[in-house]
Structure 1
Amino acid sequence: MSTTSTPAKTPLKQTGQATKSAAPSAAGSVAGDDASKALEKLETKTKAVNANNVARVANSHLTSNEEKLQPLLSLKTGKAIEKFPGTSKDIDKLSLTMVDSILNNLEADRTGSEATKREKLRIQIGLRAHPA
């Protein structure tokens, strides 16, 4: 009896093992891709945060509203933010849509009035909220 039982169980175990080992491999690959993408996003954001902090420090030392700003990077893409103001006086020339877009790229709060949003942008850039 044990001879008949054993051969019947062995093919089932082999088939079951093959299916079980293939499924985790495929799932592991998908999970690995997700983890890899998440890690890349985190790395991009971390590099942008670091670069932005350096730019903010440089921008905080400007003494004239005509001095060139150090541009900030998007936390989403890690690339320079499009239509970033060249000087602090250019902030007032930006459309409200552009102010919102820049704040969004910096993952900053975008609530409030137009004046409040412009102040938030100045602070994000590393400038004082109210120019002296």
Structure 2
Amino acid sequence: MKKAILVFFIISFTLILGSCGHDGGLLFEGKGKDWTAKLVATYDIWGKENQSIKVTYVGDKLNEFSDFDIFVESPDFLGWGLEDLELDENGDYFSERVFMLDEKTPSTTDITLRIEGEVPETIKLTTASLQ
């Protein structure tokens, strides 16, 4: 009997997790003159949002870089920033789970990414659903 209850619990828990996984999250993207950016909002099983960020330098001064800062601003959540970042050899910076929210960011929100440093730029990020 205990094994049957355990199997039932495991199957039920798996089904609950599977049903929560259909909301793949949101992808906010933008492109500027020297930078591209992606902010990904994913959701855990409790509905909390985790944001990750990827920025790529597409300009022609990659070898002249030392460090840079990024700041994310939106009217729908408290903004956040990261400082003293370094690009990899391909011109990319990626960070998982840089910010967590209790509520989901609306897909219609305005998100602005400000890059400060040797090649500053401000990029508006627009949304697309994650598949």
TM-score strictly above 0.5: no
Greater fraction of residues in strand: 2
TM-score, normalization by structure 2: 0.32
